[in-house]
């Protein structure tokens, strides 16, 4: 990626820290001018175009494809089917670790869900490939389709999420409910949602003998590298994956998908580079989604409003051929103090693609149910929703009893409520109207997300001209990673930002872990920080052991790295530049390596989460039921903030997604065919500018010395978890109607279901 000239925002950093500064994105100019090269922008010489033919049924088998008609179409080079596909070295249905999911790559003629790939047409032009795919005119032998949470036999899954138990119990829930003065028992339903990043899944693959070059969007380069190497039986060093930019991912690009593997297979079949890009409707099936849920929450409280029991049960779904179960009930482990907590899950198997990670998996779906239930419980107790949450504030993690590594949630409540004006909220519903006669409602929700961190690696170099290089295979899917990580890199090397070249986005760089679980800044950032510390330590060894250096003998006192120089910690008048140290040693550069991983001791001793509070205002037409979210204020505490401008952007994105969850997103499945009926951005509704209200994100100060040395928690997903519930609760406050099916649509307000 070309180096970007930074704006004036970096000028004041000449003698200060890069961390904590609200710098603009380093890749911003490239993106707004169109110079940023995404995967599908690549066109190697001799490239062909591949187009998927996908199933129009959800269950059965393909009995006929008109290959003759497709191949006869001008420009069509080949049609790849189960009969002529290149053989793979590994079974795509084998599961060798928890992050391996089964792929549909033309194993046979069986159809397991609608929009499953059944053939790949390869042609000289995109138009020819598209037209060739329409000429296949597939015929099917169909079987009865299973769609909806009542379509299959329920079972207890072996686990939920990645390795979480399906059931967890603390205390006696039934006894807690029995002694409660007030109780609720409510069921909430969330619809299936589909990843709809602006950039669809794509791949440009080119073989050179047994060497493979790939351009594709990826949130996990190292994992993709290992998966491709295994499937094609070639060493990882023979594969080069480039992914400098992603047009959004939301979890769907964390693992390599079946269509991307088909692009590599197509290139091997024809012996030429091949580009394959999914059409929008093809995103509804083979690349993951958020499964629907039905969640039953039972709560009890004593006469003072203190919770006596929480029981959170989720029914969800997975595909017929793989296992991923949305861990929605697990949100109830962490937020509210109760002497008895029980969480459980059951599941059914449906004729859909496999659900996978989707932004805040589990927390997003579970949060809207839990926060709605908390509001219902507060109403039953005659208490203000904020007062009820404070009454049941958890000083330790309820399910484990561990102390929190840090928790500034009280400050989030206080700052958010004050900014929003919550004290003016009437307790009863349907009490406020605006000048136009619209019903006005105010609601709130608590936000939380675990502070995760994975393993990562980085390499850092200081050159004899006083500049630095930092390398890690990081992923920027729009969250600003290339900017925030460069700030950490510059600080770690004690250099100004414009003196550091930051390299990321390719598989030949050190493994930066996966950009998922709101963990990327912590994971890659700590690896970068460690690599910088390693370089500085090596420089210090050179200087303090050299009698010619003014730092000689400072080993015990130590040195400080700042502005491209090392200073004696006990006497800063004695210093030396990196360039001088390297020149005297006769070195062109000095290199350091860094690793990152969560501290097992800290994880076993502390509960680690980010927290927040979101306050929402909605306005509703009392006759039409039309809902508008008009104002959102979120206050979030997520440890150390590397770049407040980028962090606010992530909070805004999460809050907008929360509006989408509560009011818009809903994949409609045809129960007869199993096909998605709204697989496009015209009918699968996500918020547009007119739907997005005034947004404000407050960055609440929080220090955490346990999550990692930099004190970083993630911010990418937490904004969803409080917002969806806040909007739903505001709808009740405006109308007095409690809708428990999401998204909340106007028909449900006009004719509410029981």
DSSP reduced 3-state for 747: helix
- In the β-sheet with 609-620, what is the strand arrangement from edge to edge? 432-433, 439-450, 609-620, 627-637, 694-699
The rounded distance, in Å, linking the Cα atoms of 302 and 311 is 16
Integer Cα distance of 628 and 88 in angstroms: 51
Cα 363 from Cα 164, distance rounded (Å): 13
Measured at the CA of 84, the angle between CA 81 and CA 85, to 5 degrees, comes to 75
Cα–Cα distance measured from residue 560 to residue 583, given in angstroms and rounded to the nearest whole number = 20
* Helix/strand/coil for 369: helix
Cβ neighbours for 64, distance < 8 A, ≥ 6 positions apart: 137, 138, 139
Catalytic residue (one of 131, 371, 717, 751)? 717
Check if the beta carbon of residue 223 is closer than 8 Å to that of residue 253. no
71 alpha-carbon distance from chain centroid = 41
Whether 150 is catalytic: no
Q: How far apart are the first and last CA of the chain?
A: 56
* Element at 581 (helix H, strand E): helix 578-585
Residue 264's H or E segment, with its range, is: helix 258-270
Give the tokens for residue 735: 């109308």
Instruction: Kindly report the number of other CB atoms within 10 A of residue 431's CB atom.
Output: 14
CA–CA distance from 378 to each of 206, 374, 611, 727, 753 (Å)? 60, 6, 20, 16, 22
Cα–Cα distances in Å, from 688 out to 281, 290, 591, 692, 744?
Answer: 19, 21, 47, 7, 17
Query: Are 191 and 291 a contacting pair, CB within 8 Å?
Result: no
Interatomic CA distance for residues 685 and 672, integer angstroms: 23
Strand pairing partners for 140? 62
Q: What amino acid positions are annotated as catalytic residues? A: 717
């Amino acid at each position: 990626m070309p180096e970007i000239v930074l704006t004036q925002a970096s000028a004041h950093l000449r003698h200060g820290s890069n961390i904590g500064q609200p710098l603009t994105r380093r890749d911003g100019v490239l993106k707004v001018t169109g110079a940023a090269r995404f995967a599908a922008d690549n066109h190697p010489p001799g490239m062909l175009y591949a187009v998927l033919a996908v199933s129009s049924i959800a269950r059965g088998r393909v009995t006929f494809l008109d290959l003759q008609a497709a191949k006869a179409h001008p420009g069509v080079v080949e049609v790849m089917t189960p009969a002529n596909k290149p053989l793979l070295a590994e079974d795509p249905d084998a599961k060798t670790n928890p992050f391996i999911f089964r792929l549909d790559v033309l194993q046979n003629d069986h159809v397991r869900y609608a929009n499953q790939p059944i053939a790949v047409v390869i042609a000289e032009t995109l138009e020819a490939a598209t037209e060739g795919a329409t000429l296949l005119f597939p015929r099917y032998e169909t079987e009865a389709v299973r769609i909806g949470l009542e379509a299959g036999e329920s079972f207890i899954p072996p686990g939920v999420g990645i390795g979480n138990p399906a059931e967890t119990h603390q205390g006696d829930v039934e006894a807690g409910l029995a002694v409660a003065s007030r109780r609720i028992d409510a069921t909430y339903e969330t619809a299936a949602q589909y990843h709809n990043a602006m950039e669809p899944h794509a791949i440009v693959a080119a073989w050179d003998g047994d060497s493979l070059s790939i351009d594709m969007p990826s949130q996990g380069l190292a994992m993709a590298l290992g998966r491709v190497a295994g499937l094609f039986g070639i060493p990882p060093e023979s594969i080069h994956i480039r992914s400098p930019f992603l047009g959004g991912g939301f979890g769907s690009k964390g693992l390599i998908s079946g269509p991307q593997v088909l692009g590599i297979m197509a290139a091997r079949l024809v012996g030429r580079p091949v580009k394959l890009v999914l059409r929008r409707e093809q995103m509804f099936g083979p690349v993951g989604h958020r499964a629907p849920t039905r969640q039953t929450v039972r709560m009890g409280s004593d006469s003072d409003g203190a919770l006596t029991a929480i029981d959170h049960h989720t029914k969800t779904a997975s595909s017929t051929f793989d296992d991923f179960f949305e861990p929605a009930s697990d949100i109830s482990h962490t937020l509210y103090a109760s002497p008895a907590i029980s969480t459980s899950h059951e599941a059914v198997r449906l004729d859909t693609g496999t659900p996978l990670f989707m932004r805040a998996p589990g927390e997003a779906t579970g949060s809207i149910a839990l926060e709605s239930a908390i509001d219902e419980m507060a109403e039953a107790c005659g208490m203000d929703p904020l007062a009820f949450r404070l009454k049941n504030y958890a000083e330790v993690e309820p399910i484990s009893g561990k102390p929190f590594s840090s928790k500034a949630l009280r400050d989030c409540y206080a700052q958010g409520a004050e900014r929003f004006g919550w004290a003016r909220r009437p307790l009863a519903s349907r009490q406020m109207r605006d000048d136009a006669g619209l019903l006005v409602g105010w609601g709130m929700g608590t936000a939380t997300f675990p502070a995760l961190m994975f393993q990562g690696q980085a390499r850092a170099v200081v050159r004899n001209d006083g500049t630095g290089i930092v390398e890690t295979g990081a992923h920027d899917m729009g969250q600003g990673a290339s900017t925030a990580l460069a700030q950490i890199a510059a600080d770690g090397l004690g250099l100004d930002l414009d003196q550091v070249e930051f390299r990321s986005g390719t598989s030949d760089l050190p493994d930066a872990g996966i950009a998922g679980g709101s963990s990327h800044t912590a994971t890659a950032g700590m690896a970068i920080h460690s690599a910088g510390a390693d370089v500085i330590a090596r420089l210090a060894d050179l200087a303090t052991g050299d009698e010619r250096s003014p730092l000689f003998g400072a080993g015990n006192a130590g040195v400080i790295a700042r502005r491209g120089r090392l200073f004696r910690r006990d006497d800063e008048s004695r210093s030396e530049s990196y360039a001088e140290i390297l020149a005297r040693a006769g070195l062109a550069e000095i290199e350091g390596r860094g690793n990152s991983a969560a501290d097992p001791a800290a994880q076993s001793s502390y509960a680690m989460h980010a927290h927040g509070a979101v306050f929402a205002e909605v306005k509703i037409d009392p006759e039409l039921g039309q809902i508008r979210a008009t104002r959102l204020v979120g206050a979030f505490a997520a440890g150390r903030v590397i770049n407040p401008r980028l962090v606010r952007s992530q909070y805004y994105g999460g809050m907008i997604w929360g509006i989408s969850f509560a009011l818009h997103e809903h994949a409609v499945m045809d129960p007869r065919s199993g096909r998605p009926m709204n697989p496009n951005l015209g009918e699968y509704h996500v918020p547009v500018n007119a739907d997005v209200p005034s947004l404000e994100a407050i960055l609440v100060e929080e220090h955490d010395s346990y999550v990692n040395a930099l004190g970083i928690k993630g911010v990418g997903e937490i904004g969803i978890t409080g917002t969806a519930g806040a909007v739903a609760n505001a709808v009740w406050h405006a109308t007095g109607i409690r809708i428990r099916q999401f998204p909340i649509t106007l028909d449900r307000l006009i004719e509410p279901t029981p």
